[in-house]
Amino acid sequence: MLRIAVQSKGRLYDETMLLLAEAGIKLNRGKRILLLSAKGFPVELLFLRDDDIPQSVANGVADVGIVGENEYVEKGAEAKVVKRLGFSKCRLALAIPKNEVYHGVEWFEGKTIATSYPEILKDYLKKKGVNAGLHVISGSVEIAPGIGLADAIFDIVSSGSTLISNRLKEVEVVLNCEALLIANKALTEEKQAILDELLFRFEAIQTAEGKKYVLLNAPKNKLDEIIEILPGMKSPTITPLADEEWVSVQSVIAESHFWEIIGRLKALGAQGILVIPIEKMII
């Protein structure tokens, strides 16, 4: 049984549960909300505060964990990063009052900065040669300048709307963050095998992101040009049709270039274009 530590609530919780569901991890819901086992797959979920996850994985209370990079770096726990998961993206940034004139990081010299991430901030300021005071608080960091607790803040920024509502502006990005899959450094062979299977499922999901499966009928005399547009994962699948002058073509395209590619295919005479979403992709 592989024990996975996950955040007990919040945006990271929601996206983690979605990933696990897509990977076929179905939970046995019950009265115990701290620890839940899965159906049909040898894992159980341990629900913790996000800042407790790195140490819990490092000391073996959990075997692996899904945690924000901000908490992983701040805690400095001896757990290894197994995979960057690509969701819950944000950044740790310095922000100052909107009406302040900012010319560089030297602005923070002698100032007081409110933060929930003192270790990351100390390391950054040391590298920049800036001496500043730190006011460590948890939660609602953004209100500190407005009530006179600090001159600036160092906190998580996603959309930036919270900064705007508190009349602050972002001036320095210190760390770009995303969800990480971390693991204890001393997993047994049995637990490593379960983790490898879980990674296989995660990678199949991630590979499919932003991809579309395309089927179309194409004139044979334009096939070479169409193949150049639709390379597929290795090469498109070509199937003969009853009409010897036409073939069926199947391939995968990136959604970001979808309309551009479809337009070029139509210009080359492609017909009956069918586009299908992809849930998983194994390569």
Is 109's pLDDT higher than 60?
A: yes
- The pLDDT value given to residue 113: 97
Question: Tens digit of pLDDT for each residue in 117-140?
Answer: 999 999 999 999 999 999 999 888
Residue ranges and CATH numbers for the domains of the chain are: 2-87+178-207 (3.40.190.10), 90-177 (3.40.190.10), 211-277 (3.30.70.120)
Question: Tens digit of pLDDT for each residue in 66-93?
Answer: 999 999 999 988 999 999 999 999 999 9
Query: Are 93 and 170 contacting, i.e. CB atoms less than 8 angstroms apart?
Result: yes
Enumerate the β-bridge partners of residue 248. Answer: 217, 239
Of the chain, the percentage scoring pLDDT greater than 70 comes to 97
pLDDT confidence band for 33 (50 / 70 / 90)? confident
Q: Which of 267, 275, 123, 124 minimizes the C-alpha distance to 212?
A: 275
Which of 20-34, 39-53, 152-166 comes out lowest in average pLDDT? 20-34
| Count of C-beta atoms within a 10 Å radius of residue 219 | 15
pTM of the model as a whole: 0.81
- The pLDDT value given to residue 133: 95
Query: Are 154 and 121 contacting, i.e. CB atoms less than 8 angstroms apart?
Result: yes
- Strand pairing category for 152-157 and 90-97: antiparallel
132 burial type by CB count under 10 A (0-12 exposed, 13-18 middle, 19+ buried): buried
User: What is the secondary structure of 116-182 as a DSSP string?
Assistant: S-HHHHHHHHHHHT---EEEE-SS-GGGTTTTTS-SEEEEEESSSHHHHHTTEEEEEEEEEE-EEEE
Query: Are 180 and 68 contacting, i.e. CB atoms less than 8 angstroms apart?
Result: yes
pLDDT confidence band for 7 (50 / 70 / 90)? very high
- The pLDDT value given to residue 231: 63
The CB-side HSE value for 266 (13 A sphere, CA atoms) comes to: 9
Rounded Cα distance, 249 and 236, in Å: 7
